[in-house]
Amino acid sequence: MSPIHEVVSLARLLTEPQRHPMFHPWLRRRRLSLPDLGALTVFMADGAYRPDFLDPSPMSSEPTFEEGMDALLAAPADQTYAELADATVGRGADVGRRVLGDPGRARSEAADALRQLWKAVVEPEWPSMRLALRAEMVDRALQVNREGLRAVLPRLHPSAACEGDTITVEKTVDVDVDCPDGLILVPSLFITDRMQCTTSDHWTPAIYYPASGRYLWAAPPTPKSLDRLLGTTRAKILVALATPLQTTVVARLVSVTPPTASEHLAILRDAGLIESSRAGRTATHELTAAGRAVLEASAPRL
């Protein structure tokens, strides 16, 4: 996973929210705290190249946001300038002069905007986002182990294909990249309709693909039979916990207060349908085998 990628992708999403209606409730909840992102969104024009140094490939399975920022700020000067030059093509002389006149400053200002967006919007949600991404990675790793990468890759997004030792992602620009040190696959919660690729020579190539678990933003539908069995609120909670979630996120998804959510969670836990773990003052809840069995049994039959 890549927390810095989630922040960069969120910034892109904020420039075109009409393309991503599934995020609207979440964006409305957070919009009042949004910082000025002009130094970052200047690189987000539709169809324009976004500099790779803004989105360095993760060097471990669960890097921190600060590790991503360190890699961003450590990008070599020649890489920074070349990628900024590509990003300003067709953007007008004023943008070109402002960005290329002082590439280091342009990078620092973009990094500052990223940090503000992380602090204001993503960091408060990150524990639940991390759990959703972790579940995605485990699920995909099991699929690859059972079926092989060639079978799994096209399921990540229709634009991807694998033939022999070559992976192809359909994009508007032709780029051929060797992967002597491997290829990193990164699930993302903030991209929904595309794959993104990092092809810089300075980092291991990476492909970012739309992750499941997007009901972090809006609760999934619940079967009517489950409503009748558990009651509407507890049924919604059980369905939402197909991805582990914290109490506050559960409360937001089902539109109740955190204390009310805690009461419903306690009833589900006493019934053996969920289990909870605690780190400090934060409780995280997930389904037990019995809870998964109840969900599977209540799913509509086709």
* Structural domains of the chain in order of their starting residue, each with its CATH number: 3-210 (no CATH), 219-298 (1.10.10.10)
How far apart (Å, rounded) are the C-alpha atoms in residues 41 and 53?
A: 14
pLDDT band at 232 (very low <50, low <70, confident <90, very high): very high
Extract the tokens encoding 262: 């805690």
Per-residue pLDDT at 31 exceeds 80: no
pLDDT digits (tens, 9 = 90+) for 45-83: 777 788 889 989 998 889 999 999 999 999 899 999 998
What pLDDT score does 248 carry? 84
Q: Is residue 274 packed enough to be buried (19+ CB in 10 Å), middle (13-18) or exposed (0-12)?
A: buried
Q: Is residue 68 packed enough to be buried (19+ CB in 10 Å), middle (13-18) or exposed (0-12)?
A: buried
Percent pLDDT > 90 in the chain is: 32
The secondary structure of the chain in percent helix, strand, coil, rounded to multiples of 5, reads 55, 10, 35
Mean pLDDT of the chain: 86
Residue 269: how many CB atoms within 10 A of its CB?
15
58: DSSP letter = P
* 294 vs 220 pLDDT, higher one: 294
Q: Which runs of consecutive H residues, i.e. helices, occur in 101-223?
A: 103-117, 126-147, 149-156
Residue 251: how many CB atoms within 10 A of its CB?
20
Q: Is residue 240 packed enough to be buried (19+ CB in 10 Å), middle (13-18) or exposed (0-12)?
A: buried
Task: Assign 265 to helix, strand or coil.
Answer: helix
pLDDT band at 293 (very low <50, low <70, confident <90, very high): very high
How far apart (Å, rounded) are the C-alpha atoms in residues 232 and 220?
A: 13
How much is the average pLDDT of 246-267?
A: 91
pLDDT digits (tens, 9 = 90+) for 131-172: 788 878 877 887 888 898 888 888 899 899 888 889 999 887
pLDDT digits (tens, 9 = 90+) for 167-195: 999 887 788 888 888 889 999 998 888 89
Per-residue pLDDT at 30 exceeds 70: no
Residue 298: how many CB atoms within 10 A of its CB?
19
How far apart (Å, rounded) are the C-alpha atoms in residues 268 and 290?
A: 11
Extract the tokens encoding 125: 């949600």
Percent pLDDT > 70 in the chain is: 95
Per-residue pLDDT at 220 exceeds 80: no
Left if phi > 0, otherwise alpha if psi is -120 to 50, otherwise beta: which for 92? Answer: left
pLDDT band at 214 (very low <50, low <70, confident <90, very high): low
Per-residue pLDDT at 29 exceeds 70: no
